[in-house]
Amino acid sequence: MPYDLTDTEILNMLHPDNGGATYYEITEKSPMDIGREQGRYAIDRLKKQGYNITSEKDMDSPKKKRFYVDPDDHNIQKTERNQPTNHSEPKRLSTTSKQTLTKKTRERLIQLEEMIKPIAQEIQPAKWDTQPETSQNGRDLIIHETDPHFGDEVTDEQGNIIYDSPTAEKRVRKRISKIMDKVKQKRNTGQKIDTAHLLLGGDLLTNEAIYSTQPYHIDETVDQQFIRVVKTYKDVLKTLSNNFDHVQVVCTGGNHGEFRSKGSSDKANGDDLVYDTLEIFAQELEMDNMQFIKSDRTDRVIFNFRGHRGFLTHGDQRSIHIGTSSPESDWLSFKDQYDFDAAFRGHYHDFKIEQVNGAPVIMSPSQKPPGEFEDNLGIYGTPHNTVYFASNQNPIAEIERFQVE
């Protein structure tokens, strides 16, 4: 079930001896409350599994329905989905196992989309009421978050775990804390840091079925990855909202979030569901100083920052180098078409700055060490962190690089 509620927990709520439950009561039990649709989805899913669930008007709120499960049904033992583990052998899945896992993962992502997208479409997009001020000699903060790969598990040559979901969360939180320390230090010296731009560049989720041996290299299911990512970045939004007059969140999906399912859009993406959920939370928590710019299922998005024009893409459709004739022609085409002043990309887990007609194209690193998938792609970036500052004159006026444990 979504949002940290298992079938067993919900069935216990629905047992007549426990008084049954409404959609709202189911939602309120979740640590990630995004509205009544979450409760409706839970009931519908249990019915599809064959549980006999009945309803009646709630005595305290006649406009609501209270749902109950048949006590005999409740005693049926249902098998909860097991969490994948990092096995040493075998090193590949059978075709049948891979197809089964892929189908379940796709179906789960589609279920999440069917629940989240309608809610996101009902609310007004998060937009600033007023444009941010730009002090004469001040700066804007640019945080490019790309490729944290929540859910991935990486081991060293001795088999010791050196990266996993708790580590990914810890590094994001420490990274933001360290960035805020840098902002505080600059402000203490009299420098103006006006607006924060959080660029979410994709592969926040690592998924379950992108490549054949992935189940042996993840420590959380796609549900668990989704929960942890949203919780973590919800706190990031709170921190930025509390420390800046204006915050802009710019979003595009990565290749690891792809549904790859029949009947879904070519660009249907789990990262997009994270972004929609974060925008819902921003609205619910009344973060009035925050606006979202989302890619709408393209692999790029244009945004404005401090009088400059930015270009954000995940980068999996682009070569690691832009200096050769073919890739360079792609970026020259992008530069002509979108007229950007600075571009940001990830995917390769490395740090690099190249120029296209005078505009910097910045590849930001990942905090994740390379594992089997990255080895196959020839990606060997060293995990570290970067943060950028823009001035009135320069889209990238300052870059700071640092490490977090």
Q: Per the structure, how many domains does the chain have?
A: 2
Mean pLDDT on 329-348: 91
Q: Are 274 and 225 a contacting pair, CB within 8 Å?
A: no
Is residue 108, in this structure, part of any structural domain at all? no
Is residue 167 pLDDT above 90, yes or no?
Answer: yes
Identify the pLDDT of residue 83. Answer: 40
Q: Are residues 33 and 129 in the same domain?
A: no
The widest CA-to-CA distance across the chain, in whole angstroms, is 71
Is residue 161 pLDDT above 50, yes or no?
Answer: yes
Is residue 41 pLDDT above 60, yes or no?
Answer: yes
Mean pLDDT on 238-249: 97
Rounded to 5 degrees, φ, ψ at 159 are 90, 5
The CATH number of the domain where 268 resides is what?
3.60.21.10
Identify the pLDDT of residue 90. Answer: 40
Q: Are residues 344 and 273 in the same domain?
A: yes
Mean pLDDT on 380-401: 90
Identify the pLDDT of residue 358. Answer: 92
E strand or H helix at 290: strand 290-294
Alpha carbon of residue 8 to chain centroid: 27
Tell me the residue type at 178: K
Q: Are residues 45 and 132 in the same domain?
A: no
Q: Are residues 59 and 172 in the same domain?
A: no
Identify the pLDDT of residue 378. Answer: 52
Q: Are 86 and 8 a contacting pair, CB within 8 Å?
A: no
Q: pLDDT tens across 172-209, in order?
A: 999 999 999 999 999 999 999 999 999 999 999 887 76
Number of H helices, E strands in the chain: 10, 15
Is residue 90, in this structure, part of any structural domain at all? no
Q: Are residues 143 and 28 in the same domain?
A: no
Q: Are 213 and 84 a contacting pair, CB within 8 Å?
A: no
Q: Are residues 344 and 248 in the same domain?
A: yes
Is residue 94, in this structure, part of any structural domain at all? no
Q: Are residues 371 and 256 in the same domain?
A: yes
Is residue 278, in this structure, part of any structural domain at all? yes
Mean pLDDT on 284-303: 88
107 or 138: which leads in pLDDT: 138
Range of the domain at 135: 118-402
Q: Are residues 186 and 314 in the same domain?
A: yes
Is residue 92 pLDDT above 50, yes or no?
Answer: no
The chain-wide mean pLDDT, for the chain, equals 81
How many alpha carbons fall within 13 Å on the CB side of residue 275?
Answer: 31
Distance of CA 18 to CAs 15, 64, 119, Å?
5, 18, 29
Is residue 95, in this structure, part of any structural domain at all? no
| Residue at which a domain ends, from 19, 41, 74 | 74
Q: Are residues 290 and 393 in the same domain?
A: yes
Q: Are residues 138 and 256 in the same domain?
A: yes
55 forms bridges with which residues in the sheet? 67
Q: Are residues 64 and 124 in the same domain?
A: no
Question: Mean pLDDT lowest for which of 99-103, 130-134, 235-239, 348-352?
Answer: 99-103
Is residue 29, in this structure, part of any structural domain at all? yes
400: number of Cβ within 10 Å: 12
Q: Are residues 198 and 307 in the same domain?
A: yes
Is residue 103, in this structure, part of any structural domain at all? no
Is residue 73 pLDDT above 70, yes or no?
Answer: no
The CATH number of the domain where 23 resides is what?
1.10.10
109 or 244: which leads in pLDDT: 244
Is residue 79, in this structure, part of any structural domain at all? no
Identify the pLDDT of residue 321. Answer: 82
| Residue at which a domain ends, from 15, 43, 74 | 74
Identify the pLDDT of residue 288. Answer: 92
